[in-house]
């Protein structure tokens, strides 16, 4: 004997719309996380702020910095001022079109930044971007200076 169930029998369905929503959310989340991971080569210095300046790509670049005590850095590695020129000349021989970002601490003496700029020009680099801190972003390199 067959007894009917009081619960109506429905056919099972797989809803794909919520699955698509979840996949788009995960895709957007991973994209935002990957974009926020910026590889910084320069040392942490207290950059001066500026209103003008445009954001530039920081891919395949070198960073030279001077801190408030007058110590020079080449991609986060402290070097003496006499060692800076040979390193920069080597980079220039390997890639004359390399991007150079110059970072100077707000508290450093103006002469230290100018000395580092002279070393860069002696190595052959004439397209140099000064990195500043903008109100809109944490560290924004300015446009390269003309020679």
Summarize pLDDT for 51-89 with one digit per residue, the tens.
655 555 555 678 888 888 888 888 888 888 788 888 888
Asked whether the predicted pLDDT for residue 22 surpasses 90, the reply is yes
Task: State pTM to two decimals.
Answer: 0.53
Alpha-carbon gap, residue 28 to 7, rounded angstroms: 42
61-141 to CATH, choices 3.40.30.10, 3.40.50.10810, 1.10.274.10, 3.30.420.270: 3.30.420.270
Residue 135's pLDDT band (boundaries 50, 70, 90)? low
The closest alpha carbon to 41, from 69, 56, 62, belongs to 62
């Amino acid at each position: 004997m067959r007894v009917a169930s009081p619960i109506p029998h429905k056919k099972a369905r797989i809803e794909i719309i919520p699955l698509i929503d979840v996949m788009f959310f995960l895709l957007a989340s991973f994209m935002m996380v990957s974009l926020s991971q910026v590889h910084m080569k320069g040392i942490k210095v207290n950059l001066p702020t500026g209103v003008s300046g445009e954001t530039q790509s920081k891919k395949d670049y070198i960073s030279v910095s001077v801190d408030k005590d007058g110590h020079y850095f080449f991609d986060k590695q402290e070097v003496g001022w006499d060692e800076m020129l040979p390193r920069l000349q080597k980079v220039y021989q390997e890639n004359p079109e390399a991007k150079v970002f110059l970072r100077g601490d707000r508290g450093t003496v103006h002469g230290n930044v100018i000395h580092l700029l002279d070393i860069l020009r002696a190595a052959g680099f004439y397209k140099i971007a000064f990195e500043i801190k903008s109100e809109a972003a944490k560290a924004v390199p300015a446009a390269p200076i003309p020679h």
